[in-house]
């Protein structure tokens, strides 16, 4: 059985210098060949569990198209949500990848989202959904009162082939306004996430700023 360590900030302390792609997509064309399903299926830590918690911080908050036993608002510590991951298969194309959420290390940050109790059989479908650069990682998920339980996230780090990285917020918003893929527009992804967080009473400065900077449709 492959032993997978619980994710902590220290695992990613040694990071490459921040890359700044802005609106340039040609350097990321190789990303469409990166598929994480085989790697994720080798993570067997939860296979013998009757059920366990999955933490969603992006589209998993508002698009739960998988079977779950229960769901609860939750958060994880030391991680901040950022629109730094490229989406070639859902909210964009290889020529114009969308920008979708991943997590970056940030001391003292709290990332709020939704936790779902799921059975191991659900993971195959989630691996397919998250195959463009996201890896399963173990984390401590916290609920009301600070109670923590071991669970799972899908994380796209800067080492994955589809990573786009940081850019000025105005450029990122314009990028999101243009991108569209098989699952719909990148604009819809951002606005749905902003609405879902607001419904939970969560203010995420990064998400709110991008939503506020989105050009009107047809003005980009």
* DSSP-based three-state secondary structure for 24: coil
Neighbours of 216 (CB within 10 A): 7
- Which residue among the candidates 70, 77, 95, 130 is catalytic per the annotation? 130
Residue 153: beta bridge partners?
Answer: 137
Convert 165-202 to b/e letters by CB count within 10 Å (16 or more is b): bbbeeeebbbbbbebbbebebbbebbbbbbebbeeeeb
Annotated catalytic residue 70:
no
Instruction: Enumerate residues 6+ apart whose C-beta is below 8 A from 100.
Output: 58, 59, 83, 85, 86, 87, 90, 91, 186, 189
Cα separation values, 201 from 40, 61, 92, 170, 176, Å: 32, 13, 29, 25, 24
- What is the rounded distance in angstroms from the CA atom of residue 152 to the CA atom of residue 43? 11
Q: Which helix (H) or strand (E) holds 20?
A: none
- Would the CA dihedral through 75, 76, 80, 82 be positive or negative? negative
Active site residues: 130
């Amino acid at each position: 059985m492959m032993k997978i360590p619980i994710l902590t900030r220290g695992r990613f302390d040694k990071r490459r210098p921040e890359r700044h792609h802005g609106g340039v997509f040609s350097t990321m064309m190789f990303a469409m060949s990166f598929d994480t399903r085989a790697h994720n299926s080798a993570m067997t830590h939860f296979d013998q569990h009757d059920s366990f918690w999955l933490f969603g911080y992006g589209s998993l908050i508002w698009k739960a198209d998988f079977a779950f036993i229960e769901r609860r608002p939750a958060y994880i510590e030391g991680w901040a949500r950022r629109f730094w991951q490229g989406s070639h298969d859902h909210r964009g194309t290889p020529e114009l990848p969308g920008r979708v959420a991943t997590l970056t290390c940030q001391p003292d940050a709290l990332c709020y989202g939704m936790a779902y109790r799921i059975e191991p059989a659900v993971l195959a479908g989630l691996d397919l959904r998250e195959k463009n650069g996201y890896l399963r990682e173990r984390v401590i998920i916290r609920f009301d009162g600070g109670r923590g339980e071991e669970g799972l996230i899908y994380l796209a780090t800067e080492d994955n082939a589809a990573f786009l990285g940081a850019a000025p917020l105005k450029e990122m918003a314009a990028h999101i306004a243009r991108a569209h893929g098989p699952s719909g527009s990148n604009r819809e992804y951002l606005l749905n996430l902003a609405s879902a967080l607001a419904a939970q009473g969560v203010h995420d400065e990064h998400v709110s700023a991008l939503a506020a900077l989105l050009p009107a449709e047809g003005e980009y």
